[in-house]
Amino acid sequence: MVDMEARLKPMRARAFGLLGMGLLLTGPWLGYSTTIVAVVAAVAGSAIFAIVEKRTSSTSRPELWIFSSWFVSLGIIATLAAAAGGVNGPAMAWFAVPVSTLSARFPLRAVVIGLVVALLVMVGVALGTDAGATAENPSLLIAPVFLVIAIAVLSLASMRSDVQHRAGAFVDPLTGCLNRAALENRLQELTQQSAINRAPVGLIVGDIDHFKLINDAHGHTAGDAVLVDVAYALRKQMRAYDSVYRIGGEEFLIVLPGSDLAKTIAVAELLLRAVEDAPMGARIPITMSFGVSASIQGGVFEYGPLYDEADQALYEAKRSGRNRVCFSSLLNARAA
């Protein structure tokens, strides 16, 4: 979603520029006051988009701010449509512009919600500009409404194709966890966010204990079943903005935005118990060892050193008996 928002940003500016050019060219017929309205709306919209962009890069819930930017786009279109004559003007079909971008960023439920909101705004613009003309000739509203609905339906096809291709690129097919490619994208986002908000980021590296013995004793099919069950047990404990990545055969990485060392250790202890107590389909007792690290509040997130610390702590957990959570002496000193 964040990636698509960044890709849409320059395209959105160009699209609004083209709409403004269209209003300018129709000035002799509609009046040049509509162009003035378009300029004012564009300036106000740019200021709001800048605020939304800043908040998107610094919050743990970027989807809320991205959805709010879509509402800003819808508001600009509604203003332009009303200024161009509303239901009697040529711009009612322009509501298809924000609707066409919904499926590029949001799941189906959000697309439906956005479409319904856009249709309600269209009705409001039509009735607000000339309720009498709308009642006398409903086709003035019906035609653009169904055009917008058709655009939404067509855009869903590209959305589903995009979701499938992205899933193949970023999701581990066995466990359903995110993979290393997805991790690289997320680390770029976290690094940018950390430079702005200086919030801590916690890392947990987990490894299934004695996994090679499980494969040797029960076969790789049983080993795959264990991986699936462990991944499910880990993901069940995550908040909406936490992420679980499978980064090796039996090794998982959990990224916790906004979590300092104490909170990250607490989550790791929770994961330890969740895996140990989870019913495994392969009916094999499973435990995991975890290594923990976290950046400090006010510091800058640097993945490489933090991962090395968590990996070192994982090694210590394995060496000292497994089925435990450890963090390195370096983290002890830094936490103090």
Is 0.75 surpassed by the pTM of this model? no
pLDDT for the residue numbered 118 = 96
pLDDT for the residue numbered 37 = 80
Burial of 334 (0-12, 13-18, 19+ CB in 10 A): middle
Strands (E), the chain: 201-208, 243-246, 251-257, 288-294, 325-327
pLDDT for the residue numbered 330 = 54
| DSSP labels, 12-62 | HHHHHHHHHHHHHHTHHHH-THHHHHHHHHHHHHHHHHHHHHHHHTT-S-H
CA 51/CA 45 separation, integer angstroms: 10
pLDDT for the residue numbered 80 = 87
| DSSP labels, 130-170 | HHHHHHH-THHHHHHHHHHHHHHHHHHHHHHHHHHHHHHHH
Exposure on the CB side of residue 157, measured as CA atoms within 13 A? 4
pLDDT for the residue numbered 139 = 94
pLDDT for the residue numbered 59 = 62
Residue pair 118/74 in contact by the 8 Å Cβ criterion? yes
CA 143-145-150 angle, to 5 degrees, is 95
Residues annotated as catalytic are 250
pLDDT for the residue numbered 161 = 61
CA 298/CA 315 separation, integer angstroms: 28
Q: Which two tokens stand for residue 172?
A: 């581990």
* All structural domains of the chain: 2-170 (no CATH), 180-335 (3.30.70.270)
Sites in the chain below the pLDDT cut of 50: 331-336
CA 206/CA 326 separation, integer angstroms: 11
- Whats the size of the chain, residue-wise? 336
pLDDT for the residue numbered 336 = 41
